[in-house]
Amino acid sequence: MNYTFTLRTIYPYLGELWQAAAVTLWLSSLAIVLSIALGAGIAVLRRSRLRLLRVLGAVYVEIMRNTPLLVILYVVYFAAPAIGIRLSSFVAALLGLTLNSAGYMAEILRAGLIAVAPGQFEAAQSQGMTGWQVFRHVVFPQVFRTIYAPLGNQVIAVILASSLASAVAVEDVASWMQTVGSTSFRFFETFVIAAIVYLVLCQTVNIARLLIGRWLFRQGATR
Amino acid sequence: MIAYLPLMLRAAGTTLWLSWLAMLIGAFGGTLLALVHMQRIAPFRWLAIAYMEFFRSVPILIVMFFAYYGVPLVLGLDLSPFAAATLALALHASATMSEVVRAGIGSVGHGQWEAAQAAGFTWLQTMRHIIAPQALRVVLPPSIGVFITTLKESSLASIIGYIELTRTGLLVRDSTGGGFAPLLALGVLYFLINYAISQIGAALERRFQTGSRIETVGAMA
Amino acid sequence: MVYRILGRACAALLLLGMTAGLARADGILQQILSRGTLRVAVLPSLPPYSKVLPSGEPEGYDIDIAKKLADALKVKPEFVVTDIPGRITSLQTRKVDVTIADFTRTVERSTTIAFTEPYLVTTMRLLVPVDFKGKAIAELGDGAGIKIAISRGGTAEQAVPANLPKATLVRFNTQADEMSALLNGQADAMAEDDFYNSQAIKDRPGKLRQLDGLLARAEIGIGLPSGDPDFLRVLNLFVEQLNASGNNAKMFKQWFGFDQPTITVHY
């Protein structure tokens, strides 16, 4: 087939691409921050003394890790109104992404908490450290070191997963690709441009993570 | 809704078949990629790294669109929705699997290579009789995680028009007047399938206690 | 082992390739006749034009036209479910031979693909919930603050901004998703085909109505890949006879429940 690669027809839509990229970035940043918070809550739940809370946390993680994000998005956007929860596209996508990502964040953070040997709390306390000091100087550095690499992976995963928000009418980069592709009929060009946008976003995170990691943990490897 | 349940179960079979095929191809592709990555010649290594980084940085949705619409436009090769979805999922899975396989091969102590060489084994013989059997035990459990990810990713095939589980659920929704039950049923079905698979994975992990464990790879999809 | 893996990978790829067919140089008509099947792109959820049953079997007005066409060519129809953007791309990439899916012909689209003469002329109107404020499109002013569900890449992409420049577009891939968002109140209105809207109102008594006035006129034709005048000639003859014989009107009445408006340029 004679397909000539031509960007000329795409030019008029490039303005919308920046907007779309901003939406992708904003959506994934919010989802990352919120899912870390929610994930931390669940990780703590999973280390609770109460069995019920532990089970609850485990059930949440299993559900989120075993259900496709696309289905979660459909449920949050199209099915939730049946019980009176009517969300806009953006909020629904944010909620779906956050709920899903929190399942993974919880596991990452839990692994981090496990990495801190239990005896250290007592040891630090016997040194006369306050709760905050224990967290700041003993717990946090160890947890952070353990979760650093998987956290970076999860950040990239959320950026990639945010592309599914187009299914619930969020105007992100993946939506731009499909809309412009089908109005300008230059599908191949729009695929390439959209792929480049995601590639740049994810590799920026990836490289920043490597550099920051190298600087933070100068003596050890992070990957 | 209940009347449509057999249909959804059959569609679940389609989804399983699609993901299984993609996973199989992905596992072979990933092994190949891992072997290329381990070569001493730098350009080979770069190629493998570029491939992995590319598929780690581009959403599977775009890969799928590309396989379905882009490949015929550019190469003139016409892929059916099934073939396009399989190809996209396999390309993606092979990138993840290559890391799993590499870690698996890496888990076998270096001393064994040297010992095998001293015993007169060729590279192929060493790989086949010494390294592969040990690596397999390390590779298998995390592969289950990759399989679950692939299965979840296969839901995106619905967007390129392949009638698998998700698309069937949406069609049932359309046929039954737009209720929310089919969407919930979809979630439940995917959960049950994936949970069952993950339990098999956990059992394998217990059975193959090897000391050197790769973190179970399971990604958001 | 490397070679064995390589060999298996190649075999797997070949297997994949077998399910696909290479695009050939000879005419589309010849390909259809030698293949024995007519590949038709259809929409999954646009009743009564088309509706795909969960079994994958489609039914509807457009589907019957496709079956008639396949009969005329003495081949079997093979339906390929696609979405709004896919109607054009699947022709562009020669995945299908024709698209019969409430497909509006436009000059812009015909720079990429070809269209037959219309078998139906309809209009695009706004479907709203019964409690919507206002009776006509003209009352909406510039449309500021109104969320309108449209098909991504459909003709509404141009028609809605032309009439309501400030309206917010909410884009979906299928009409079922648009309808769901409209009924859930996540969109205020839905820009769709008048005949589809009428059916939707009938199917959901007391829930929906249409606003007076139209967004655009739409000539519905059969879409086909560009660059094959021979195939276009055959399809045009088919459409001409379908219209003239009264078969078209008969099928329309059967699916829509009312008489088909005359297909003229002035409708």
Which domains, from first to last, does chain A contain?
8-216 (1.10.3720.10)
Q: What ipTM was assigned to the predicted interfaces of this complex?
A: 0.90
Per-domain residue ranges of chain B: 2-207
Helix (H) or strand (E) holding C149, with range, is strand C147-151
Sequence-distant (6+) residues with CB within 8 A of C16 are B25, B79, B83, B86, B87
Identify the residue with better confidence: B133 or A68.
A68
**pLDDT value at residue B207:** 82
Q: State whether C186 and A179 contact (CB < 8 Å).
A: no
pLDDT reading at C112 higher than 60: yes
Q: Which residue of B has its CA nearest to A103?
A: B220
**pLDDT value at residue C20:** 44
Q: Which residue of C has its CA nearest to A91?
A: C186
CATH number assigned to the domain covering C25-119+221-256: 3.40.190.10
Q: Can you give the pTM of this predicted structure?
A: 0.88
Based on the number of CB atoms within 10 Å of its own CB, is C106 exposed (0-12), middle (13-18) or buried (19 or more)? Answer: middle
Per-domain residue ranges of chain C: 25-119+221-256, 123-217
C-alpha to C-alpha distance for A107 and B50, rounded to whole angstroms = 29
Q: State whether B198 and A174 contact (CB < 8 Å).
A: no
C-alpha to C-alpha distance for C167 and C143, rounded to whole angstroms = 4
**pLDDT value at residue A129:** 83
Q: Which residue of A has its CA nearest to C155?
A: A183
pLDDT reading at C266 higher than 80: no
Structure tokens at C59: 């039914």
Q: State whether A199 and B221 contact (CB < 8 Å).
A: no
pLDDT digits (tens, 9 = 90+) for C137-171: 999 999 999 999 999 988 999 999 999 999 999 99
**What's the N-to-C CA distance of chain B in angstroms?**
27
C43 shares contact with chain A (CB less than 8 Å) = no
Least confident interval from A28-37, B35-44, C142-151, C250-259: B35-44
pLDDT reading at C23 higher than 50: no
Q: Which of B106, B69, B67 is nearest to B87 (CA)?
A: B67
CA angle A104/B159/A6 to nearest 5° reads 110
Q: Which of A118-132, B119-133, C121-135 has the highest mean pLDDT?
A: C121-135
Question: C123-217: which CATH topology?
Answer: D-Maltodextrin-Binding Protein; domain 2 (3.40.190)
Identical fold for domains C25-119+221-256 and C123-217, yes or no, is yes
**pLDDT value at residue C77:** 97
Q: Which of B18, B28, B164 would you mutate first to test chain C, the one with the most C CBs within 10 A? A: B28
Residues B154 and B164: beta-carbon distance below 8 Å: yes
Q: What is the mean pLDDT of chain C?
A: 88
Give, in order, the Cα–Cα distances in Å from B123 to each of B12, B41, B141, C106.
42, 16, 26, 63
Query: Which residues of A fall within a CB distance of 8 Å from C91?
Result: none
Q: Which residue of A has its CA nearest to B170?
A: A74
Mean local confidence (pLDDT), B19-43: 94
Q: State whether B78 and C20 contact (CB < 8 Å).
A: yes
**Per-residue buried b or exposed e for A52-62, using 16+ beta carbons within 10 Å of the residue's own CB:** eeeeebeebbb
C95 shares contact with chain A (CB less than 8 Å) = no
pLDDT digits (tens, 9 = 90+) for A36-68: 999 999 999 998 899 999 999 999 999 999 999
Question: B2-207: which CATH topology?
Answer: MetI-like fold (1.10.3720)
Mean local confidence (pLDDT), C100-128: 94
Q: State whether A78 and B65 contact (CB < 8 Å).
A: no
Nearest C-alpha of chain A: how many angstroms from C67? 27
Structure tokens at A102: 């929190």
Residues C126 and C148: beta-carbon distance below 8 Å: yes
**pLDDT value at residue A223:** 41
Identify the residue with better confidence: B39 or C18.
B39
Q: Residue B221: which of A1, A161, A202 has the nearest Cβ?
A: A161
Chain A stretch 159-188, residues whose beta carbon is closer than 8 A to a beta carbon of chain B: 160-161, 163-164, 166-167, 174, 177-178, 181, 187-188
Q: Which residue of B has its CA nearest to A108?
A: B215
| Residue B201's pLDDT band (cuts 50, 70, 90) | confident
**pLDDT value at residue C50:** 93
